[in-house]
Amino acid sequence: MKRSATTGRLLTAATTLTVLAGTLAATVGPATAAPAAPAPPSALAAAVNAADAAAAAGLDALAKGPDESYQRQSVTPWVGGLYSVSYERTYKGLPVVGGDAVVLADAQGNVRSSQSASSGRIQGATTARISAQKAEKTARTKLSAVDSVASRRLVVRVKDGDSGRLAWETVLTGRNGDTPSTLHVFVDATTGEVIDSYDDVRAGTLNSKWNGPSPTINTTGSGSSYSLRDPGRPGLSCADNATGQVFTKSSDSWGNGSA
């Protein structure tokens, strides 16, 4: 009898513990892990965040007026853990052609350098007096044969440190004599005169080993940045076979004829 009573008490105790455990489980619920600490920003994010902050603040070469801002366009990994972040300048919402900027930042979120194509503040009205159609008609006179109008937009054209001129930028594709052309023509939106133009197609120099010695491919770019990408023939470019990266250079002269 004593043994039977002991067994009964053990069973009752076990049952009580089971019910108690179930009650606790229902009350407390499943265990919740402590929130993990936020992961540190990646090298790319740290560099971009620093560059964006510098552009927004208008530091040093990025100085800007109250109606101006910088819109990020691209991020290019560079050497030594650096990133080149490019920006397009805007004035009262209009693109500023000739006001581009570049910020060089590192993986630790430090701005190493900044440069802007224009240092002066933009001023002036943003309402065009000349229509886009009239500006296009004027722009067409700059090209001997026009195949199509690639684009047309109202911009502020900045050149040689001036305060900017409101203009219609018309991009024409066609030919200039025997040469293919992708011509940007800027027509003053107030006076209707042509104030500037430039062609995406330029005569560079190629020195190759097997094709040529001077094969023909139109290049893209201007100033101090060119790439071996043909703007008139989509998909035609010259790239590194190992990485697939299209070749770029500070001048429009390529190769030395050696494999």
Length, in residues, of the chain: 259
Maximum C-alpha span of the chain: 119
Share of the chain above pLDDT 90, in %: 49
What is the Cα–Cα distance from 146 to 121, expressed in whole angstroms?
36
What is the identity of the amino acid at 193?
A: E
CB 196 within 8 A of CB 186: yes
pTM of the model: 0.65
Q: Do 175 and 143 lie in a common domain?
A: yes
Q: Do 142 and 106 lie in a common domain?
A: no
In a domain, 109, yes or no: yes
By the 10 Å C-beta count (0-12 exposed, 13-18 middle, 19+ buried), 205 is classed as exposed
In a domain, 51, yes or no: yes
In a domain, 234, yes or no: no
User: What's the domain range around 164?
Assistant: 132-199
Q: Do 144 and 186 lie in a common domain?
A: yes
- 33-61: pLDDT as tens digits: 555 555 567 999 999 999 999 999 998 89
Final residue in a domain of this structure, among 82, 116, 150: 116
In a domain, 3, yes or no: no
48: its two tokens: 């971009």
Final residue in a domain of this structure, among 145, 164, 199: 199
CATH of the domain at 191: 3.10.450.40
Q: Do 110 and 49 lie in a common domain?
A: yes
CATH of the domain at 99: 3.10.450.490
Q: Do 166 and 103 lie in a common domain?
A: no
Q: Do 110 and 136 lie in a common domain?
A: no
Q: What's the pLDDT at 232?
A: 62
Q: Do 111 and 157 lie in a common domain?
A: no
In a domain, 16, yes or no: no
What DSSP element (H or E) covers 254?
strand 253-254
Final residue in a domain of this structure, among 184, 199, 214: 199
Name the domain count of the chain: 2
Q: What's the pLDDT at 251?
A: 80
Residue 117 or 220, more confident: 117
CB 84 within 8 A of CB 102: yes
Q: Do 90 and 137 lie in a common domain?
A: no
Q: Which long-range contacts (CB under 8 A, 24 or more apart) does 189-192 make?
A: 189/128, 189/129, 189/130, 189/135, 189/154, 190/125, 190/128, 190/129, 190/130, 190/165, 190/166, 191/130, 192/130, 192/134, 192/135, 192/138
Q: Do 95 and 140 lie in a common domain?
A: no
Q: Do 103 and 167 lie in a common domain?
A: no
In a domain, 38, yes or no: no
In a domain, 103, yes or no: yes
CA 46 to chain centre: 16
Residue 224 or 157, more confident: 157
Q: What's the pLDDT at 26?
A: 38
Residue 238 main-chain phi, psi, to 5 deg: -120, 120
In a domain, 34, yes or no: no
